[in-house]
Amino acid sequence: MNSYVERVISELKEKNANEPEFIQAAEEVLSSISPIVDAHPEYEKAALLEKMVEPERTIEFRVPWVDDKGQTHVNRGYRVQFNGAIGPYKGGLRFAPSVNLSIMKFLGFEQTFKDSLTTLPMGGAKGGSDFDPNGKSDEEVKRFCQSFMLELYRHIGPSIDVPAGDLGVGGREIGYLFGMYRRICGNYENGVLTGKGRSYGGSRIRPEATGYGAVYYLQAVLKHENDSIEGKTVAVSGFGNVAWGVCKKLAEVGAKAVTLSGPDGYIYDPDGIATEEKINYMLVMRASGRNKVKDYADKFGVEFFPGQKPWGQKVDIIMPCATQNDVTLADAEKIAANGIKYYIEVANMPTTADALKFLMEKEGVIVAPSKAVNAGGVLVSGLEMSQNSERLSWSADEVNEKLQTIMTGIHDGSAKAAEEYGLGYDLVAGANLVAFQKVADAMMEQGI
């Protein structure tokens, strides 16, 4: 490894010792980009890598809100504006009890490189709160969103920073957030948020985009391997928006998701989560706020495995769509023992560092990295920004076609970069190399 890269990794670990998720994400990128740094000795003098692992700005704020009984609660809000070199900061908001500074920084860092891969002009950011929307009434969620925006509004704008949804933040929350932004600012800048409803400037295909994009990426991998998607079985984790889009697109192209998971365990449906009724039921389960995947087993009479993950099932393809650190080394060993060839990360950093290393070194396993596979969501957000700034609306076919073309391009570009650096078909290194180069060029040229 390049000695400058090595030094920055060790300083990173020292400086951010209590931020394990951030260290994991940054180390993964840094350890892939040595060949570029070797060719650019000027990076060290400019401290380019040190700048890249330090957010441009981190905002933390108090979010007080009143529950239905009149009790006031206080949560912590965040916005980490990680890197704005290639466009306005862009990235989702996450509402979940697990949110902390390390998670926000890891997601903002990943977002910088993901957004670079989309080829659209977007910088990287992430935000959110440790507020748990599960089990809260609609009015409580509304009051929380309004209070959150009362602080966030001063840090965002269509050419400054454009938040969107993520875990726990969907169309309903974006609506409440935008309503409050509009009241505070007194103008109709709907390009300030993406993932909006269709009635006020949302793009077609945005709700499906992350899942659809992941399947388009998967199809490009299969094409590379002279394989086809027809008849393939897929183990999916999670049952939120991303898993929903994946199940829907898999069914459309003749494959089937056979598992879903939640905090309570996982379900196995050998017929596939492939009918309209089953796919729509995922939305009902999510909207119920119960956060239990067992509801699916009860409704459709399939097997439920309490407290377990679906990674022991013998399938053709693995697609973790839940959240970070969903697949551990023990899970990875089961996946390899089952002879599964395609390991397609979908959620942000779903694989622990040791599990990822194991799978990447395992002969016959192809690993596709989340920052490329799940880029479809933010990509269509970028298209939503374009439509808003031009005050027009593209058809579903137009958006879908752009999504498919760019996702295929992300796969092909990563494969080509890895090949050029003599790394073979390494999609993880390839994505990091392509994403890093663009951000590095912009930062060097701007002298920042």
Give the active site residues: 126
- Minimum Å gap between C-beta 247 and ligand GLU is 18
- Minimum Å gap between C-beta 338 and ligand GLU is 29
Residue where the block lists tokens 């003749």: 254
Distance between start and end Cα atoms, the chain: 25
Q: Quick one: which of 34, 112, 190, 194 contacts ligand GLU (CB under 6 A)?
A: 194
Measured from the CB atom, the residue of 202 and 262 that comes closer to ligand GLU is 202
- Take residue 381 and report the two structure tokens written for it: 């957000």
Q: If binding is defined by CB under 6 A, does position 381 make contact with ligand GLU?
A: yes
- Give the x-and-dash track for 83-122 against ligand GLU (CB under 6 A): -------xxx---------------------x--------
Measured from the CB atom, the residue of 146 and 194 that comes closer to ligand GLU is 194
Residue 85 CA to residue 445 CA, distance in Å, equals 10
Using H for helix, E for strand and C for coil, what is the string for 200-230?
Answer: HCCCCCHHHHHHHHHHHHHHHHHHHCCCCCC
- Take residue 152 and report the two structure tokens written for it: 């966030």
- Minimum Å gap between C-beta 378 and ligand GLU is 4
Neighbouring residues of 176: CB distance < 8 A, sequence distance ≥ 6: 141, 142, 145, 146, 149
Q: If binding is defined by CB under 6 A, does position 402 make contact with ligand GLU?
A: no
Residue 126 CA to residue 167 CA, distance in Å, equals 12
Measured from the CB atom, the residue of 240 and 274 that comes closer to ligand GLU is 240
Residue of this chain nearest to ligand GLU (CB atom):
92
Q: If binding is defined by CB under 6 A, does position 313 make contact with ligand GLU?
A: no
- Minimum Å gap between C-beta 381 and ligand GLU is 3
Residue 396 CA to residue 46 CA, distance in Å, equals 44
- Minimum Å gap between C-beta 170 and ligand GLU is 11
Residue where the block lists tokens 């009434």: 137
Q: Quick one: which of 310, 377, 413, 430 contacts ligand GLU (CB under 6 A)?
A: 377
Alpha helices in 160-275 (DSSP H): 171-185, 206-224, 241-252
In terms of Cα–Cα distance, which of 117, 76, 112, 118 is closest to 97? 76
Residue 182 CA to residue 173 CA, distance in Å, equals 14
- Give the x-and-dash track for 146-185 against ligand GLU (CB under 6 A): ------------------x-x-------------------
Measured from the CB atom, the residue of 34 and 118 that comes closer to ligand GLU is 118
Q: Which residues form the interface with ligand GLU (CB under 6 A)?
A: 90-92, 114, 164, 166, 194, 377-378, 381
